Amino acid sequence: GAGVSQSPSNKVTEKGKDVELRCDPISGHTALYWYRQSLGQGLEFLIYFQGNSAPDKSGLPSDRFSAERTGGSVSTLTIQRTQQEDSAVYLCASSLSVIRRISGINTDTQYFGPGTRLTVL
């Protein structure tokens, strides 16, 4: 079946411009995550959506970053007034978000999209 898709695959922008990155999760997945991977760094959590619940925005690095998820499916990550340090690969992931009933352990697998490589000049 279709996996997580992201667009655009590459984005080059000038400092100070706004950018929008799109994520289409796997159909039926209720959980959606955004991560950022800077050169030589590990993946950094940005934001999490689960169904109709309020998103967890605790990983967003500044108020220039925002995200929304319409209709519980497609998500858009917006970066306003981009800075050079925003240059990174932005990865989206989705999951079924299933929790084992007995142990209460969240065992769902997160499936990643191919990412959007953002370069801010």
What single-letter amino acid sits at 98? V
Please report, to the nearest 10 degrees, the dihedral formed by the alpha carbons of residues 40, 26, 22, 37 taken in order.
-10
Shortest reach from residue 88's CB to other proteins, in Å:
13
- Single residue of 53, 78, 106, 119 touching other proteins by CB under 8 A: 106
Using the contact rule CB under 8 A, the part of the chain among 13-21, 39-47, 60-68, 73-81 near other proteins is 39-47
Decide whether 80 or 97 has the Cβ nearer to other proteins: 97
CA separation (Å) from 66 to 2, 27, 102?
26, 23, 36
Regarding 110 and contact with other proteins (CB under 8 A), the answer is yes
Per the CB < 8 A criterion, the answer to whether 78 and 62 are in contact is no
How long, in residues, is the chain? Answer: 121
Regarding 7 and contact with other proteins (CB under 8 A), the answer is no
Using the contact rule CB under 8 A, the part of the chain among 14-22, 62-70, 73-81, 111-119 near other proteins is 111-119
Regarding 23 and contact with other proteins (CB under 8 A), the answer is no
Grouping H, G, I as helix, E, B as strand and the rest as coil, residue 94 is: strand
User: For other proteins, how many residues bind (rule: CB under 8 A)?
Assistant: 27
As a whole number of angstroms, the distance between CA 44 and CA 81 comes to 20
Residue 6 CB coordination number (10 Å)? 21
> In the complex, which residues of this chain contact other proteins (CB under 8 A)?
31, 33, 35, 40-43, 45, 48, 50, 56, 59, 91, 95, 97, 104-115
